[in-house]
Chains A and B, each alone.
Chain A
Amino acid sequence: MTDAKPVLRLENIVKTFPGVRALDGVSFSVMPGEVHALMGENGAGKSTLMKVLGGIHQPDGGTIFMGDDAVVMSGPLEAKAKGIVFIHQELSLAEELSVAENIYLGELPTKSLGRVDWTRLADQTNAILQKLNVGFDANTRVGDLSIANQQMVEIARALTVDAKAVIFDEPTASLTDSEKVVLFDVIADLQATNVGIIYISHRMEEIFKITDRITVLRDGQYQGTVETADSTEESVTQMMIGRTLDLSRNASHHALGEVALEVRGLSCSKHYQDVSFEVRRGEVVGFYGLVGAGRTEIAETLFGLRDPSAGQILLDGEEVRINSPADAIARGISLVPEDRKGQGLVLGMNCRDNMTLPQIDTLKAGPFVAQGAEMEIFDKYHKQLDIRTPGWKQQVGNLSGGNQQKIVIGKWLSMHPKVLIVDEPTRGIDVGSKSEIHKLLRALAAQGYAVMVISSEMPEVLHVSDRIVAMYSGRVMRTFTSEDVTEDNLIQAISGMTSEQVA
């Protein structure tokens, strides 16, 4: 690889937004056939650097080279024409169109007189989908697909172009393990054809599995590039955040309190059936299962967004009906939802107002909202969660993905709920903040909160939970305590084997 020329080279790229120096002289290069990881904390500038490369932002300074030529990426179309394919952190598909139309948007195959050749379109698309081994076809409407499958459509789109470099910005944040395997195969194929690959992720195990080199950014500055083979998780973390992490589990087994939440035989038509569990004060209960196992739907039922078809919900031993989110909030239930952009945030609103939204009615100074109380709440979680923003007035939509997620978490922590439900709480969050959030969840439990953690990341569930409810296809397969759980029996449980079969 030493004698090869980089496919892409960025030199001294500078980009500022009002109040933020997002990129401060960053240099970076990708070799053909290389998987190059781009790492850094939330808000370090990774997505911004890639948007400069993809022609979405114009740099304030610096040069992009392809081969020996300096190029200007005046827009996304030009970047694409030059062979740069961008798979975005935030999905950008047309929901009303079919999978095939999305994949070939702008380049639909035509017959005479410019008529679209639908048969050819479907055939081409299905060929790609087959390679990706997905469970939907060319004519499916994109809006009907799960987030994970939409991500696969984005990836499929990348495969249609004669690419020189492919950028993956946190592609696995919402993929299941089996989908990840497919993705990594695709990346290996691309690699074999000498495409340069830039891979952004906060998941260390992936980085060490598939990348060749790692470049680290910190606060918009270039920290250095290392060979993956010569590095360790600790050394990379050290580069990213300037310290190493204490990843030991907070094992302090505080005494558990009363049962705060109990669910008996709860069913919701086809989403889940006969689900029973309890969560005590001071306890973190993890919910682990494949996407589609019904965990999110249970959370939505508890939060008043779905009516159960049978069963009981008991709060503090008393049966309750929860008819709306307002009801749930009044009873002390908080939900950090799965989809931050769609469900968690008003992107056009500022950071502070987003955070105080659920309790806006209680922050009163006479007839008005008590701005002082709002500032206090924002300041507290701004510090505690280390949210990177130039100030409370910044529109949430301008924050980096991970910092947006932190705003959602702050929003619901500030409600001081009795029962805190978090659905994929650390999606897109950097390693440092992730361990902070895990500590926080443990600390909240120690203070007497009842915490439900839904997660598709096994290490996360194992790390934070006192007990783990394993679900498969809408049913509770088994409940583990932190003593009797192992990776193996957890995997068995969520893939549909009953406890008798396991035993």
Chain B
Amino acid sequence: MADITRQQIGSLLAKQGILIAFVAFLIGFTIANPKFLTPDNVLSVIRSSAILGVMALGVTFVVISGNLDLSVGSMMSFSTIVVLDLHDKIGPALAIPAMFAMTLALGALIGFLVGYLKLNSLIVTLGMLSAIHGLTLTYSGGKNMDIADKEGTWFSVFGQGTALGLPIPILMFVAVAALLGLILSRTSFGRKVYAVGGNGTAATFSGIPRARTVFMCYLISATCVATAGLIQASRSLGSQNTVGQGLELEVLAAVILGGASLLGGSGTIFKTVIGVLILGFIQNGLLLIGLQFYVQFIVTWVIIILAVWLDIAAKRGKLMSPIA
């Protein structure tokens, strides 16, 4: 009897572990600092998670298709720099579509290499991480990029505006999540992404164009990166070349926290949103209880390991097992 309950607790922990840990965190933080769960703080956490969140939504597609995208951080720097530069040269109305086009071209290149040429996505996107960084520096000449007339531009609306009483970045995050959620869960394209990531050979035998599906996932990821870059540029109206550095790992952490498997074939947009929020709240909570900013890096890593462990444990139904 005692044995059965222990087993049940183990399997509950394994299945819902992340949520349980999250709730425990929330309670702990709230006790440590009552400011933690105030509406103001909650809203500010979501707002500061929006950029990372939008990127994570796109990377969710890539991960479900069985691939990785480690280039999103430096690609986001690129979009930010490009849109800020073009803002003064051709005006915001043209700068935005031009920046989207350039970012999508990078996404298309990765999609071509991974999808059609079947190169390993880890290698390709790690390479792109540094290549795009180089591209950004070449583009900017290594200088920070600033908008000349910061007061007089409507461009700031994406990062600083509000509508319906909510900050625009939050609304954009919600809108992109809703749209991509529908695409992933309800359209035939979404189904193909799961099939390709779950068993590529079986997908081929079902007449599903594997290469095109993977290609499209990288285009979606690039679109999200461009959107994130837009929010980032609009919020600060000036930027360093390295603004997105390191974000690729946080994005990946959020996606895995949400429960997408790195092996492909599983995950959802809703879960990724949860993953983003968990990451955001934990990082915010650590700041509120007075830990240094850089402790986040360690904690983020611990969280990733915890998430991966629980993911595997859930699959075998217990926390420790001699077989995988």
B204 touches A325 (CB 8 A): yes
B186 touches A368 (CB 8 A): yes
Chain B hits for A368, CB < 8 A: 182, 186-187
B207 touches A325 (CB 8 A): yes
Encoded as 1 (CB less than 8 Å from any A CB) or 0, chain B from 202 to 246 comes to 111111110000000000000000000000000000000000000
CB distance from B206 to the nearest CB of A (A): 4
Q: List 19 A-B contacts (CB under 8 A).
A: A75-B323, A76-B322, A77-B322, A324-B209, A325-B206, A326-B209, A337-B205, A344-B202, A346-B194, A346-B195, A346-B198, A346-B265, A348-B199, A348-B266, A364-B188, A368-B186, A368-B187, A369-B186, A411-B206
Chain A hits for B322, CB < 8 A: 75-77
* B35 interfacial contact with A, CB 8 Å: no
A360 touches B191 (CB 8 A): yes
A360 touches B192 (CB 8 A): yes
* A347 interfacial contact with B, CB 8 Å: yes
* 8 Å CB interface, A263-316 against B: 303, 305
B188 touches A361 (CB 8 A): yes
CB distance from B175 to the nearest CB of A (A): 16
Chain A hits for B323, CB < 8 A: 56, 75-76
* B130 interfacial contact with A, CB 8 Å: no
Q: Which of A344, A346, A361 has the most CB of B within 10 A?
A: A346
Chain B hits for A335, CB < 8 A: 205
* 8 Å CB interface, A74-95 against B: 75-77
* A357 interfacial contact with B, CB 8 Å: yes
* A217 interfacial contact with B, CB 8 Å: no
Complex-state Cα separation, A305 to B210, whole angstroms: 13
B187 touches A369 (CB 8 A): yes
* B120 interfacial contact with A, CB 8 Å: no
Chain B hits for A348, CB < 8 A: 198-199, 265-266
CB distance from A328 to the nearest CB of B (A): 7
A369 touches B194 (CB 8 A): no
Complex-state Cα separation, A411 to B199, whole angstroms: 16
Complex-state Cα separation, A369 to B190, whole angstroms: 10
Encoded as 1 (CB less than 8 Å from any A CB) or 0, chain B from 233 to 269 comes to 0000000000000000000000000000000011000
A interface bracket (residues with beta carbon within 8 Å of B): 20 to 34
* A342 interfacial contact with B, CB 8 Å: yes
* A358 interfacial contact with B, CB 8 Å: yes
* A349 interfacial contact with B, CB 8 Å: yes
* A353 interfacial contact with B, CB 8 Å: yes
* 8 Å CB interface, A347-397 against B: 347-349, 353, 357-358, 360-361, 363-364, 367-369
* A345 interfacial contact with B, CB 8 Å: yes
* A343 interfacial contact with B, CB 8 Å: yes
Q: Would A325 and B188 be within 8 Å (CB), given that A76-B323, A346-B194, A346-B265 are in contact?
A: no
Encoded as 1 (CB less than 8 Å from any B CB) or 0, chain A from 316 to 336 comes to 000000001110110000010
A349 touches which one: B182, B188, B194, B209 (CB < 8 A)? Answer: B194
B199 touches A346 (CB 8 A): yes
Chain B hits for A305, CB < 8 A: 204-205
A344 touches B195 (CB 8 A): no
Closest B residue to A57 by CB, please name it.
B317
Complex-state Cα separation, A178 to B150, whole angstroms: 82
* B48 interfacial contact with A, CB 8 Å: no
Chain A hits for B33, CB < 8 A: none
Q: Would A342 and B201 be within 8 Å (CB), given that A329-B207, A349-B265 are in contact?
A: yes
9 smallest beta-carbon distances between A and B, as pairs: A346-B198, A326-B207, A360-B188, A325-B207, A368-B186, A329-B207, A357-B206, A358-B206, A346-B199
B203 touches A346 (CB 8 A): yes
Complex-state Cα separation, A135 to B199, whole angstroms: 31
Q: Would A357 and B201 be within 8 Å (CB), given that A75-B322, A326-B209, A364-B188 are in contact?
A: no
Chain B hits for A367, CB < 8 A: 186-187
Q: Which of B182, B203, B207 has the most CB of A within 10 A?
A: B207
Q: Would A345 and B207 be within 8 Å (CB), given that A363-B188, A369-B191 are in contact?
A: no
Encoded as 1 (CB less than 8 Å from any A CB) or 0, chain B from 81 to 98 comes to 000000000000000000
B205 touches which one: A344, A361, A363, A369 (CB < 8 A)? Answer: A344
Complex-state Cα separation, A411 to B206, whole angstroms: 9
Closest A residue to B205 by CB, please name it.
A343
* 8 Å CB interface, A410-441 against B: 411
**Contacts beyond the supplied A346-B203, A368-B182: 12 A-B pairs with Cβ under 8 Å:** A76-B323, A326-B208, A337-B205, A345-B199, A347-B198, A348-B198, A357-B191, A357-B195, A360-B191, A361-B188, A367-B187, A369-B187
Complex-state Cα separation, A131 to B322, whole angstroms: 32
Q: Would A369 and B188 be within 8 Å (CB), given that A75-B323, A349-B195, A357-B195 are in contact?
A: yes
> Interface residues, chain A, CB within 8 Å of chain B?
56, 75-77, 303, 305, 324-326, 328-329, 335, 337, 342-349, 353, 357-358, 360-361, 363-364, 367-369, 411
CB distance from A154 to the nearest CB of B (A): 17
Complex-state Cα separation, A199 to B194, whole angstroms: 37
Complex-state Cα separation, A357 to B206, whole angstroms: 7
Complex-state Cα separation, A349 to B208, whole angstroms: 15
CB distance from B266 to the nearest CB of A (A): 6
Q: Would A353 and B191 be within 8 Å (CB), given that A77-B322, A345-B199, A346-B265 are in contact?
A: yes
A343 touches B207 (CB 8 A): no
Encoded as 1 (CB less than 8 Å from any A CB) or 0, chain B from 115 to 158 comes to 00000000000000000000000000000000000000000000
Complex-state Cα separation, A305 to B206, whole angstroms: 11
* 8 Å CB interface, B268-310 against A: none
A347 touches B208 (CB 8 A): no
A343 touches which one: B198, B201, B209, B265 (CB < 8 A)? Answer: B201
Chain B hits for A329, CB < 8 A: 207
CB distance from A498 to the nearest CB of B (A): 35
CB distance from B228 to the nearest CB of A (A): 25
Complex-state Cα separation, A303 to B207, whole angstroms: 9
Complex-state Cα separation, A324 to B206, whole angstroms: 10
Chain A hits for B203, CB < 8 A: 346, 357
Chain B hits for A328, CB < 8 A: 207
Closest A residue to B209 by CB, please name it.
A326
Complex-state Cα separation, A368 to B322, whole angstroms: 43
Complex-state Cα separation, A111 to B205, whole angstroms: 47
Chain A hits for B191, CB < 8 A: 353, 357, 360, 369
CB distance from B199 to the nearest CB of A (A): 4
CB distance from B216 to the nearest CB of A (A): 14
Chain A hits for B265, CB < 8 A: 346, 348-349
Closest A residue to B318 by CB, please name it.
A58
Complex-state Cα separation, A76 to B322, whole angstroms: 9
CB distance from B209 to the nearest CB of A (A): 6
B199 touches which one: A76, A347, A361 (CB < 8 A)? Answer: A347
Complex-state Cα separation, A233 to B204, whole angstroms: 40
Q: Which of A342, A357, A358 has the most CB of B within 10 A?
A: A357
CB distance from A281 to the nearest CB of B (A): 23
